[in-house]
Amino acid sequence: MAERALVPPSESVPRLTRPPSPAADVGASAALSEKQSPLLPSQQGGVQPDHQNEGNPATSQGVMMLQLLERVIELENWKEGKGLIVCGAKNTFCSGSDLNAVKGLGTSQDGVELCMFMQNTLTRFMRLPLISVALIQGRAMGGGAELTTACNFRLMTPSSEIRFVHKEMGIIPSWGGTARLTEIIGSRQTLKVLSGALKLDPTVALKIGIADEILQSSDEDQSLQEAQRWLQQFISGPPEVIRALKTVVSSGKELALEEALETERDVLSTLWGGPANLQAIAKQIKFNK
C-alpha cells in the first residue's frame, strides 16, 4: 500500500481571517522555484525526489508536494516581497500529478487526502500578499492547469497550452481549480473548458479570459524576461502598498461584504499617514500626464 505522505498539515483549507498588517520592507519579484516545477517528475526537470524514496513514485510525489508547501511557507515569511513568477522547466509548465504515483494512490481516501493537501497549499499560495504570475511555457496539464489558476495572472508563450484533462482521467479538478477557474472565466466557460477537456492554445485562452497576455517569445529565458517586465508595471511602488492592495483584493473576493469592508479599514489604517502617503502628498503629484 502506498505510504501516506500526503496527509495535510491541517484537515481543511484555512479560513481567510482578516490579515495582519503588511510589512514595510523593500520588495522584489522572484520566481517561486526558478527552473523548477513543483509537481513534475524528475525526467521533466522537476524537483528531484528524495533519495530515500527512490523507486517509490507515490512517495516521491509526496516529497515534491511537500516541497511546494515549504516554498509557500517561505513566501508567507517573505515580508518584503511584492510579486512572484511561477514557471516550469524544459519548456513544460507542469504536467500535473506523476501518473506513476497516481497508480499507487488508488482509493477514494487517497484522492481526498491528495485533494485536501493541495487545496490547503494552493489556497495559502493564492492568499499571499504578493502579485503572482504563472508563466506558461509549454504545457500546463491536469494539476498543472489547476496551479495556473492559483496565480493572479497567466502569461502564455506562443507555443504553450493549458488543458484540464481531468475528465479524460475520470475525475474533476479538485485542487481548488474548479472554483478558481469559475471565478476567473465564469461558470459557462468553465463548464465548456472542463467538460470538453479543451486544448487551450494562447489565442483561445486569451479570448475566453484565462490568459492575460500572449508573450512574443517561446524561448525560456526571453519569455521569462518578458514576464518580468510585464509584472514590473504592477509591482512598482512601495511594498507595503502593493501588499496591501493584494490583501484587500483577496478579502474582497473571499469575504462577505461587511468583513471585506472591515479589512479595508484595517489595512488603510496601516497606510494612511504612512511614509508613502505623506511623500505622495508632499510631492503634490499630478496624474494628468
Binding site for ligand LP2KCY5N (CB under 6 A): 41, 43-44, 95-100, 102, 139, 141-143, 146, 165-166, 169, 175
Closest distance of CB 121 from ligand LP2KCY5N, Å: 13
Closest distance of CB 37 from ligand LP2KCY5N, Å: 11
Closest distance of CB 8 from ligand LP2KCY5N, Å: 15
* Contact status, residue 157 vs residue 218, Cβ threshold 8 Å: yes
Closest distance of CB 12 from ligand LP2KCY5N, Å: 18
Compare residues 174 and 263 and give the one whose CB is closer to ligand LP2KCY5N: 174
Compare residues 71 and 166 and give the one whose CB is closer to ligand LP2KCY5N: 166
Closest distance of CB 185 from ligand LP2KCY5N, Å: 18
Q: Which helix (H) or strand (E) holds 132?
A: strand 131-136
CA distances to 198, 248, 269 from 21, rounded to whole Å, are 41, 11, 9
Instruction: Give strand ranges (E) for 137-204.
Output: 139-141, 153-156, 161-163, 199-200
Compare residues 97 and 247 and give the one whose CB is closer to ligand LP2KCY5N: 97
CA distance 76 to 55: 32
- Identity (one letter) of the amino acid at 257? L
Closest distance of CB 268 from ligand LP2KCY5N, Å: 39
Q: At what angle do helices 57-76 and 108-126 cross, to 10 degrees?
A: 20
DSSP state of 154: E
Compare residues 1 and 256 and give the one whose CB is closer to ligand LP2KCY5N: 1
CA distance 217 to 181: 26
Q: Which residues contact residue 35 at a Cβ distance below 8 angstroms, ignoring those fewer than 6 apart?
A: 45, 87, 89
Count the helices and strands in the chain (H runs, E runs). 11, 8
Compare residues 43 and 77 and give the one whose CB is closer to ligand LP2KCY5N: 43
C-alpha cell of residue 231: 509584472
Q: Which helix (H) or strand (E) holds 85?
A: strand 83-87
Closest distance of CB 242 from ligand LP2KCY5N, Å: 31
CA distance 216 to 213: 10
C-alpha cell of residue 6: 500526503
- Identity (one letter) of the amino acid at 117? F
Compare residues 149 and 247 and give the one whose CB is closer to ligand LP2KCY5N: 149
Compare residues 8 and 143 and give the one whose CB is closer to ligand LP2KCY5N: 143
The DSSP bridge partners found for residue 253 are: none
Compare residues 174 and 270 and give the one whose CB is closer to ligand LP2KCY5N: 174
Closest distance of CB 91 from ligand LP2KCY5N, Å: 8
